[in-house]
């Protein structure tokens, strides 16, 4: 029995069941008329799927024994990278608010790639800049939806 899988499965099963019973009915509504899918369909679907998969994980880990070695699951610097990425996410939110999408997105992508171990600066530049401009073009030019411009450029 893999104890960590059993605990994880049970915790997520309880959380998803609580969301199905308490959160989704209070945060969504059903349409009276028949327009197809109700706005509450997707949350019910996601939490129902999470409940099923969590229960399967817990049952598998309880009833099917595996001879997997129990060792370190993560590398030594994994938690440090996680914390750095959390701080980077907060910086990205502030950057979107103050300087906008077009400047913030390439820097956040480049910083994330660097933190994750990529040291090829040409690749970092291409992956950081080109998708940012493509997203900008799709949302602003094609769809006509505004992206954050930031307080400094308003």
What mean pLDDT comes out for the span 56-81?
A: 75
Q: How confident is the model at residue 106 (pLDDT cuts 50, 70, 90)?
A: very high
Q: Where are the domains of the chain?
A: 3-63, 78-153
Distance CA 125, CA 143 (A): 26
What mean pLDDT comes out for the span 26-54?
A: 82
What mean pLDDT comes out for the span 69-93?
A: 79
Cα-based distances in Å from 11 to 6, 36, 132, 141: 9, 33, 37, 44
Q: What is the CA radius of gyration of the chain?
A: 22
How far is Cα of residue 36 from the mean position of the Cα atoms in its chain? 28
pTM: 0.57
Name residue, tokens 């090829």.
120
The b/e string for 23-48 (b: 16+ C-beta within 10 A; e otherwise) is: ebeeeeeeeeeeeeeeeeeebeeebe
Identify which of 101, 105, 94, 98 has the alpha carbon closest to the alpha carbon of residue 146: 101
Q: Is the pLDDT score of 71 beyond 60? A: no
Q: In percent, how much of the chain has pLDDT > 70? A: 88
At 35 the pLDDT is 65
Q: Is the pLDDT score of 113 beyond 60? A: yes
Distance CA 91, CA 88 (A): 5
Give the count of alpha carbons within 13 A of 52, CB side only.
6
- Across 25-34, 49-58, 66-75, which has the greatest mean pLDDT? 49-58
What mean pLDDT comes out for the span 25-30?
A: 80
């Amino acid at each position: 029995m893999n104890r960590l899988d059993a605990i994880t499965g049970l915790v997520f099963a309880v959380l998803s069941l609580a969301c199905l019973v308490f959160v989704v009915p209070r945060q969504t509504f059903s349409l009276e008329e028949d327009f197809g899918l109700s706005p509450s369909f997707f949350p019910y679907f996601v939490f129902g799927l999470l409940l099923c998969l969590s229960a399967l994980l817990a049952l598998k880990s309880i009833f099917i024994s595996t001879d997997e070695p129990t060792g370190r699951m993560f590398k030594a610097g994994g938690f440090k990278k996680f914390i750095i990425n959390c701080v980077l996410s907060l910086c990205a939110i502030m950057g979107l608010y103050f300087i906008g999408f077009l400047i913030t997105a390439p820097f956040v992508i480049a910083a994330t790639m660097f933190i994750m171990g990529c040291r090829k600066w040409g690749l970092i530049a291409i992956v950081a800049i080109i998708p940012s401009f493509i997203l900008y073009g799709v949302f602003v030019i094609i769809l006509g939806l505004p992206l954050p411009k930031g307080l400094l450029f308003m």
